[in-house]
A and B are shown apart, each in its own frame.
Chain A
Amino acid sequence: MFSQKTTSPVEEGKPEVDENQPLLQVRDLSVVFRTREGSAQAVNKVDLDLARGQTLAILGESGSGKSVTAQAIMGILDMPPAEITSGTIKFRGKDLLTMPEKERRLYRGQRISMVFQDALSALNPVYTVGEQIGELFTVHRGMSRKDAKKKSIELMDKVRIPGAAARVTDYPHQFSGGMRQRIMIAMAIALDPDIIIADEPTTALDVTVQAQVMELLAEMRRETGSGLILITHDLGVVAETADMISVMYAGRTVEHGPATKVFANPAHPYTLGLLESMPRLTGAGDRLYAIPGLPPSLLNLPSGCPFAARCPRAEDICRQDPPPPAVEIDGTRFSACHFAEEVVAHGVR
């Protein structure tokens, strides 16, 4: 990313887009990591759609490819070792992957922004938070530093950081974890983006603060009318905020559909397992379910369904043939399972 010479300044400002085109359309996205041990298939032919005002949750355990997908959309993958081997990421009809870096840059922060998991390391320790928020305005809007500072205070107020005017000159390490994540959110909404990607935004926070930060994120999404992609492994968070869910496993989307339907009646054994392993208040006394086994190595994926080895419903076809890319269920959702219909109807046992 840094290997080439700095190019001459490009024209700043928000890139023009065709509002009639779909907001985000990811098709057939594959990402491979080239490592010393071999090639790891981190993302495998993933499709995603996001509409304006919608919240899409990408659910999966670590290593499922959810963060890599987000970074590919954002255009911040480290390449190498990562390599995008196939697919398109269309934002309002424009493919971000074929766009020259000079142009792509202008989408970042202005059209698509991101909230990272660990705000302490995601913020630069040697600049004040005001400088770091203000940077967005001086670079993309050509504002003076003074005006940018004013904007920073406004934004810090908006994300409800007490005493914003005084704290704008503080450094990241002087804030609490929750306040730092609010600053990340302030940066994400600063330029009124069309899409906000939140990569496990509450994982690094205390449980008590998690809810506040999620609520703020949801509120900011409502206010700006943008689309939100929420990357998480926390089912509770998903249940409260998501409109749509994509469940990822070993680099593939295994199930995709409206949140309510997926929750009420999963169409993939993995999703079902995830839901059953979630503690519930009702039915106390039941043993908590855990999916047996471990996810497969991404370096050496099985030829059949990657979940087959852990799946209670698996049959020979699952171990031999690759899973069907998408079995449509009741016209609204998809599952990558040979027995999707049965899973919906009877579960796995």
Chain B
Amino acid sequence: MGRYVVRRLLLMIPVLIGTTFLIYSMAWALPGDPFASRCGQRPCPESFVQAETERLHLDDPLPIQYGYFMLNMAQGDFGQTSNGESVLEAASRAFPVTVKLTVVAIAFEIVLGIGVGIAAALRRGGYLDGFFLFVSLVAISFPAFVIGYVLQYFLGVKLGLFSVTVGRGAPWEDLILPGFVLASLSLAYVLRLTRATLLETLKADHVRTAIAKGLPRGMVLRKHVVRNSLIPVITYIGADVGILLGGAIVTEGVFNIQGIGGMLFHALSIRENATVVSVTTLVVLVILLVNLLVDLLYARLDPRIRYE
């Protein structure tokens, strides 16, 4: 196990360097004036241009620029918004809200995604199975902001079941609907993945053995079918944390949530691209770290990997 962790971490280093370099190039090394479209409709203030040029060493050759970019990030310096606030500070205020939203979304994935997936697999070919397969296809196809607005309109405005926006401090009950919307795409994938792996595990030889051992049906299902099927599903949900953090930008925009996604959404709507780039970079880095953690956790679930 220890060796596995070390190996994963070592393998991660070149990827991390590559990814950060890619982000850096996309953000600062594209041809043209780097400040041409960063501060909304107006040109960037001279002070901002100077501060950023100095911070990022934009006058130096590319590798040096990248070096300073990494150094800045290592020191927690993600730049500043065009009105001078530290991006890291603003982001760390917003982050807890996004984490809460993500937790709600993952809860939906686990409870609804896995639960319905199992139910659908056990009734393969039945009406319930067909219905959920179709619903999941719709959820995959409809962009999150469409689902968000539709649910907001019907469940919030028309029926008044949920509040249409999220209040200050983002209380849990206000996050139920946004959390569901954020989860909708992944929820559909989790459902389908659970159903597919379960159907495959049901046919596995070791399940036949379990039945031949005279185990009660419920126990065969729980211990030998569901437990085995959950390994890829849990891996998927783990990897999904990153996708959810990225998707939060749309959901938080639709429901006006003051999280990191809402911050991005707001910056985008006033075309303050400097902030957009810095915050997005920060989010992508968080995602990379989360994915690494999930990768390591995966090894704990499947003994075949642990001893590889």
Check B221–A76 contact: CB distance below 8 A. Answer: no
Check B304–A107 contact: CB distance below 8 A. Answer: no
Q: For the complex, give the distance between the alpha carbons of A242 and B203 in Å.
A: 32
Contact residues, B180-231 vs A (CB, 8 A): 202-206, 208-221, 223-225, 227-228, 231
Cβ distance A222 to chain B, nearest Cβ, rounded Å: 22
B8, CB-defined interface residue at 8 Å: no
- Interface-lining segment among A87-95, A113-121, A309-317: A113-121
B122, CB-defined interface residue at 8 Å: yes
Contact A124/B224 with A1-B211, A108-B214, A109-B212 known, Cβ cut-off 8 Å:
yes
Cβ distance B223 to chain A, nearest Cβ, rounded Å: 8
Check B214–A110 contact: CB distance below 8 A. Answer: yes
Check B214–A107 contact: CB distance below 8 A. Answer: yes
B60, CB-defined interface residue at 8 Å: no
Residues of B contacting A113 with CB < 8 Å? 212-213
B303, CB-defined interface residue at 8 Å: yes
Residues of A contacting B219 with CB < 8 Å? 139
Which bracket fits the contact residues of B? 20 to 34
Check A6–B217 contact: CB distance below 8 A. Answer: yes
Residues of A contacting B218 with CB < 8 Å? 6
Interface of chain B, main secondary structure: helix
Interface centre among B210, B213, B302 (most CB of A within 10 A): B213
Check A108–B212 contact: CB distance below 8 A. Answer: yes
Q: Report which of B123, B216, B225 forms a contact with A3, defined as CB distance below 8 A.
A: B123
Q: For the complex, give the distance between the alpha carbons of A9 and B218 in Å.
A: 10
Chain B residue at smallest Cβ distance from A174: B307
Check A139–B216 contact: CB distance below 8 A. Answer: yes
Contact residues, B252-287 vs A (CB, 8 A): none
Residues of A contacting B212 with CB < 8 Å? 74, 76, 108-109, 113-114, 116
Q: For the complex, give the distance between the alpha carbons of A108 and B212 in Å.
A: 6
Check A2–B303 contact: CB distance below 8 A. Answer: no
A167, CB-defined interface residue at 8 Å: no
Residues of A contacting B231 with CB < 8 Å? 126
Check B228–A125 contact: CB distance below 8 A. Answer: yes
Check A106–B205 contact: CB distance below 8 A. Answer: no
User: Using an 8 Å CB-CB cutoff, how does the interface string of B224-251 with A read, 1 for contact, 0 for none?
Assistant: 1101100100000000000000000000
Check A109–B221 contact: CB distance below 8 A. Answer: no
User: Using an 8 Å CB-CB cutoff, how does the interface string of A73-109 with B read, 1 for contact, 0 for none?
Assistant: 0101010000000000000000000000100011111
Residues of B contacting A108 with CB < 8 Å? 211-214
Contact residues, A183-233 vs B (CB, 8 A): 187
Q: For the complex, give the distance between the alpha carbons of A110 and B213 in Å.
A: 8
Cβ distance A142 to chain B, nearest Cβ, rounded Å: 13
Contact A125/B217 with A108-B211, A173-B304 known, Cβ cut-off 8 Å:
no
Check B208–A2 contact: CB distance below 8 A. Answer: no
A10, CB-defined interface residue at 8 Å: yes
Cβ distance B11 to chain A, nearest Cβ, rounded Å: 23
Cβ distance B208 to chain A, nearest Cβ, rounded Å: 6
Contact residues, A285-344 vs B (CB, 8 A): none
Check B216–A9 contact: CB distance below 8 A. Answer: yes
Q: For the complex, give the distance between the alpha carbons of A114 and B221 in Å.
A: 20
Chain B residue at smallest Cβ distance from A114: B212
Residues of B contacting A125 with CB < 8 Å? 206, 228, 303-304
Q: Report which of B202, B206, B304, B307 forms a contact with A122, defined as CB distance below 8 A.
A: B206
Residues of B contacting A78 with CB < 8 Å? 203
A-B contact pairs, 20 of them (CB 8 A): A1-B211, A1-B217, A2-B202, A2-B220, A2-B225, A6-B217, A76-B212, A105-B215, A106-B214, A116-B212, A122-B206, A122-B209, A123-B206, A124-B228, A126-B302, A135-B215, A139-B216, A139-B219, A173-B304, A187-B213
A-side residues, CB < 8 A to B, are: 1-4, 6-7, 9-10, 74, 76, 78, 101, 105-110, 113-114, 116, 118, 121-127, 135-136, 139-140, 171, 173-174, 187
B-side residues, CB < 8 A to A, are: 122-123, 202-206, 208-221, 223-225, 227-228, 231, 302-304, 307
